[in-house]
A = this chain, B = another copy of it.
């Protein structure tokens, strides 16, 4: 039997825990694959690995065991009681494949050492379970914006800097990406962090002929935006302003409300809107930390537009979703598609996976319908 690995950076976070619990439940056939794009009939012939063929491990810097994390998610309404009961022992098993992640605050030595250790963890996971390949997906906390450095430009300069003990030339997400590629694994960035998006790292991926995908899972407000914005364009309606507010609790809420972190998230949201509308519009955007919402995310968008004879109209929407429940199945989808792409010999940025991301690499297409069509056609040729 073919067998693939899904290695999660941030393996004990909300998204990861939900994805793992869900995978176990899917394997046990106790839930339907709701929210799983890869389970749509359109992808039946694409030879994607089945739920039974995926094994999970990962890195995290948190200590809370997966089953404890899952209990919290059950209280928050993300994982149903009966699913938790059914997957509890499976979670503990997966937890045994989680290793300590890299974080500059606790690491001593060079980043080269750190990367080597991370790559070794992945390699051992692969051998331990006799896996055909391992896909690394970053679902760790969003990082603050990292400054651009000259060492990021070439692989040579980068590796020289990484070798200097005590130097922090890369943010953790990029160390993770580097380690993944060095371990021969495709890398997917589900977060807005830098990850692989540095010339030195894409150079490495190209040399090693490794595929990668990202960035920043498209799950809530942006998902609706990328669906709705093309309507205005197709109808020749001029969007005058598109204002948004996001209320979120959970770990992500705390991280993102911090101005600097939000910087990278807001940027990746903003990029899409301008592209979708074909021009810059007034687009104030806020992310607020509202702890009592727990895992829920509420987003309100107000779009002001003008039509025939300049008449002013508006549409507003309120999205009320559970972020982790929206993100988790996409993580599984990405593991399946990326693994199949790797098996099929694809390398470099997988633009066809842009459907899943707020800020897609390898493509400029942000319109959801077009992205879906592209995904279907690409998968049809795997």
In the complex, A80 has a CB within 8 A of chain B = yes
In the complex, A154 has a CB within 8 A of chain B = no
The residue on B at minimum CB distance from A73 is: B309
- Whether B309 contacts A313 by the Cβ 8 Å rule is no
Q: How far is the CA of A316 from the CA of B302 in the complex (A)?
A: 12
Q: How far is the CA of A33 from the CA of B235 in the complex (A)?
A: 11
- Whether A307 contacts B325 by the Cβ 8 Å rule is yes
Query: A14 to chain B: closest CB distance in Å?
Result: 12
Binary CB contact string for chain A from 294 to 327 against chain B (1 if under 8 A, 0 otherwise): 0000101010101111111111111111100110
> Chain B residues near A288 (CB, 8 Å)?
243, 284
In the complex, A168 has a CB within 8 A of chain B = no
How many residues of chain A have a CB within 8 Å of chain B?
75
Q: How far is the CA of A31 from the CA of B36 in the complex (A)?
A: 38
Q: How far is the CA of A240 from the CA of B318 in the complex (A)?
A: 17
Among A200-208, A220-228, A341-349, the one that faces the other chain is: A220-228
Q: How far is the CA of A231 from the CA of B222 in the complex (A)?
A: 12
Tell me the dominant secondary structure on chain A's binding face. Answer: mixed
- Picked from B231, B245, B291, B292, the residue with its CB within 8 Å of the CB of A227 is B231
Q: A228-B224, A302-B247 are in contact. Are A308 and B292 (CB under 8 A)?
A: no
In the complex, A170 has a CB within 8 A of chain B = no
> Chain B residues near A309 (CB, 8 Å)?
18, 21-22, 25, 31, 34, 78-80, 83, 325
> 5 tightest A-B contacts by CB?
A369-B369, A240-B292, A284-B288, A35-B307, A35-B308
